[in-house]
Chains A and B, each alone.
Chain A
Amino acid sequence: MTHWLIAPIVLPAMLAPFIVLAARYHIGIQRVFSIAGVVILVAISGGLAWATSDGTVMLYQLGDWSAPFGIVLVGDRLSTMMILLTSVLALFVLIYAVSSGWDNRGWHFHALFQFQLMGILGAFLTGDLFNLFVFFEVLLIASYGLMIHAGGTVRLRAGVQYVLFNLIGSTLFLFALGAIYAETGTLNMADLANRVTLISAEETVGIRVAAVLLLLVFAIKAALVPLHFWLPSSYAEAPAPVAALFAIMTKVGAYAIIRVYTLIFPPELAATAGLHDTWLLPAALVSLAIGMVGVLAAKHFDRLVAFSIIGSMGMVMVSIALFTPQGIAAALYYIVHSTLAGAALFLIVDLVRSSRANLELTPQAPVAGATFTASLFFVAAIAMAGLPPLSGFLGKLLVLDASFGSDLMVWIWAVVLGSSLISIVGFARAGSMLFWKAKSVAPPVDAVQAPAPATMSYVAIGGLITLLALHTVFAGQVHQYTSSIAAQLFSPEPYITTVIDTPGKLSEPTEDH
C-alpha cells in the first residue's frame, strides 16, 4: 500500500503547526516554508493525478483497517483532478499574498492557509461521509480565521454572518449524517452505495429526508439560490487572497454533490427519484440568473465579483443537475475555468482597492498601475462573462450542448444566453467606470500617488490568466479527460469493489480471535 495518497493531507497538517510554533515571529521563514510546501503539494497532486489518469482507483486505509470499519481515503480521477486544481490555485494565491504583503497584516496567515488547504484536500480525498464532515469543519475553521485576517469592524461583522451561516450548515450536515446512519448503519460512501439499493420501496422516508438534507448542506457550500445569502458580503469583505482561495470552496460543495449523487444516490435510484430534476435544475437556473443580474446591479466592484461567483456556480450546477455523463464532463470543465477566473478577478479587485478610496463603481482618479490592471481585468472579465475566445465561452458551449434532451432545454438555453448578455453589460459597465472614465477625473491636488502594485502580484494574476488560456488552447484534451472522469463516475463498480474488497488488518480471522 502506497502512502502517497495521504501526503496532501499530512504535509499541510505538519507544516501549519511548524509555522505557528517555530516561525511565529519570522515572516520570511513562514513565507519560505509555506510556498515550498505548496510547491511540493503541486508536485504530489500532479503525481497522484498522473497515477490515477488511467482509471485506477487508489485506496488508503488509515491504520490498515479495512472499510467499512476503518476510514479510507480514495483517489480516483475526480478527486485527483480537484486536488491538483486546488494546489495550483493555492500556489498563485500564495504568491500574491506574499507579494502584496497581505500575509503580514495580521497573525498566522500562513498557518491558517495550510490548515485551509488540509481541509480542502482532505474533503476531496476522503471516502467516508463523516470524515467529509470533519474535513469540512477543518476547512471552515481555518476559513473563519482567514476571513477576519487583518481585522476591522466591517470584516468582523461579515465574518460573524459567515460563521453563523456555516454553523447552521454544519448542524444540518450532522442531522443528515445521523439520519443516514440510522437508516443504513454505515457512513462509508462505497458501503452506503451498496446498502441504499437494498432499502425497500415502502421504507424510503428516512433515506429521502437524509438525501434532501445532505443536498441542502452541499447547496449551502456551493452557494446555490436560495442558500447563497452568506456569499456576497463574506467574499467581498474577506482579504483578497483569501477570497481568491475561497473560489475553490464553493467547488467543494459542487464536488460533494457530484460524488454523493453519482455514487450513493444516483439518478436511477428509485428511493430518491425526482430529487435532481425537480429541484436542483430550477434552483441552479435561478442562481445563474440572480448571480448575473447581481453583476449588473452591484454598486461595488467587490460585490460584483462575488455575484459573478454565484452566477458561475449556477452554471456549474445547471450542468451537474442534468446528471448525464456529458453534463458532468461539461461541469468539470467549467469548474476549472470558473475557479481560475474567479480567483483572478478577486486578486484584480485588490489591485484596484490598493490605490482607491473605495470600491464604488463611480468615476474616480485612475488607480496606480492602471494599464496593466485594466488589461488583466479585461481578459478576466471576458473569461468570466463567457465571451470567445477564452474558456468561459467553450464551457458554456459544452453546457448548452449537454442540455440537449433535457425537458428544460429551452429554459436552460434562455437563461444561460440571457444571463451571459447581462453579465457582459455588467462587466463592461464596471470596466468603463473603473478604468476608462477615471481618465476624465483629475486627481485631488494634494493626492499622494499610491505606489504601483508589486511585480510579483502581476505575475500571480498573469499566471492564473495564462492557465485560463492554456485551459482554452487544450480544451479538447481537457474535455476528453473530464469525459473520462464522468464515465468513471457513472460506472462506480470499480470504486466500490476497491474500497469494500481490499483486505486490511484482521480481515482474516487469526487463532486468538
Chain B
Amino acid sequence: MEFLIASAIGVMTAAGIYLVLRLRTFPVILGISLLTYAVNVFLFTSGRVIPGAPPVLRDNVTTYTDPLPQALVLTAIVISFGMTAVVVMMGLGAFLGSDDDHVDDQPDTPQDKPEGSA
C-alpha cells in the first residue's frame, strides 16, 4: 500500500515537472494539474496511511486515522481546481489574441528593433 502510494506520487511529480518545463502553455497546464494531483495525494498521506479506520471519535474503536490532512487536502483541491480553470481561460485568451502559445517572453520581432541593428 505504502509503496503503491509513494511510487504514484513520485511518478506523477516526475511527469508533472517534465511537462512544466515544456515551452507551450497546454503541456505546462497539464503538468501543473499532474503536480497538484501528486501534492493532493502527498498531503493525504502526510497523516500516515491507516486503511479502514474512522477519522472521528466512535465507541469501541481504538485505531483512528488523522482527520486533519483530509481537511487540508480539500482546501488544496478546491484552490488548485479553481486556479487551473483560471489559467486555462487566461492562456486561451492570450493564445487567441497573439496566435502564439509560448509561455516564455519571445524575442522582439524585427520591426520592434531600433533602426540600424537589423
Contact = CB atoms under 8 A, between A and B. Distances in A.
A185 B45 CA distance: 12
Q: What band does the interface of chain B fall in when counting residues whose beta carbon is under 8 Å from A?
A: 35 or more
Given A167-B87, A170-B79, A233-B105, A177 B72 contact: yes
A368 B15 CA distance: 53
B86 interface: yes
B79 A156 contact: no
A168 B43 contact: no
B54 interface: no
Nearest to A182: B46
15 contacts: A130-B72, A134-B79, A153-B98, A156-B94, A160-B91, A163-B86, A164-B25, A167-B36, A168-B35, A170-B80, A170-B83, A178-B39, A181-B68, A181-B69, A182-B48
- Secondary structure of the A side of the interface? helix
A171 B32 contact: yes
Nearest to A163: B87
Interface string B13-53: 00000001000010011001001100100110111100000
B46 A153 contact: no
Given A163-B87, A178-B46, A171 B72 contact: no
Given A170-B83, A233-B105, A362 B94 contact: no
A137 B36 CA distance: 14
Contact of A156 (B39, B42, B97): B97
Contacts of B103: 160-161, 164
Interface string B55-86: 00000000000101100100110011011101
A179 B97 contact: no
A175 interface: yes
B32 A156 contact: no
- Secondary structure of the B side of the interface? helix
Contacts of A233: 105
A415 interface: no
Contacts of A148: 90
Contact of B46 (A160, A168, A179): A179
Contacts of B28: 164
Contacts of B72: 130, 177-178, 181
B25 A171 contact: no
B104 interface: yes
A174 interface: yes
Contacts of A164: 25, 28-29, 32, 87, 103
A174 B105 CA distance: 28
B43 A178 contact: yes
A126 to B, nearest CB: 14
A384 B104 CA distance: 29
A178 B75 CA distance: 13
A159 interface: yes
A362 B114 contact: yes
A144 interface: yes
A137 B94 contact: no
B90 A163 contact: yes
Given A163-B87, A170-B83, A178-B43, A134 B32 contact: no
Contacts of B75: 130, 134
A160 B25 contact: yes
B32 A167 contact: yes
Contacts of B39: 171, 174-175, 178
Given A154-B98, A181-B68, 15 more contacts: A141-B82, A141-B83, A156-B97, A160-B94, A160-B103, A161-B104, A163-B90, A164-B87, A170-B83, A174-B39, A178-B43, A179-B46, A181-B46, A181-B47, A182-B45
Contacts of B42: 174-175, 178
B100 to A, nearest CB: 8
Q: Rank and list the top 8 A-B pairs by shortest CB-CB distance, nearest first.
A: A153-B97, A182-B46, A156-B94, A178-B46, A174-B39, A178-B43, A157-B94, A181-B46
Nearest to A186: B68
A178 B68 CA distance: 11
Most buried by A among B28, B82, B94, B98: B94
Interface in A92-148: 130, 134, 137, 141, 144, 148
Contacts of B25: 160, 164
A161 B102 CA distance: 10
A209 B20 CA distance: 21
B62 to A, nearest CB: 19
A174 B76 contact: yes
Most buried by A among B28, B80, B83: B83
A181 B44 CA distance: 11
Contacts of A134: 75, 79
Contacts of B82: 141
Given A156-B93, A171-B35, A137 B79 contact: yes
Contacts of B29: 164
A63 to B, nearest CB: 14
A416 B97 CA distance: 42
Given A137-B79, A156-B94, A163-B90, A171 B36 contact: yes
Contacts of A170: 79-80, 83
A68 to B, nearest CB: 10
Nearest to A360: B114
Contacts of B105: 161, 233
A145 B83 CA distance: 11
Interface in A390-447: none
A153 B28 CA distance: 19
Interface string A177-201: 1110110010000000000000000
B87 to A, nearest CB: 5
A154 B100 CA distance: 11
Contacts of B46: 178-179, 181-182
A154 B98 CA distance: 8
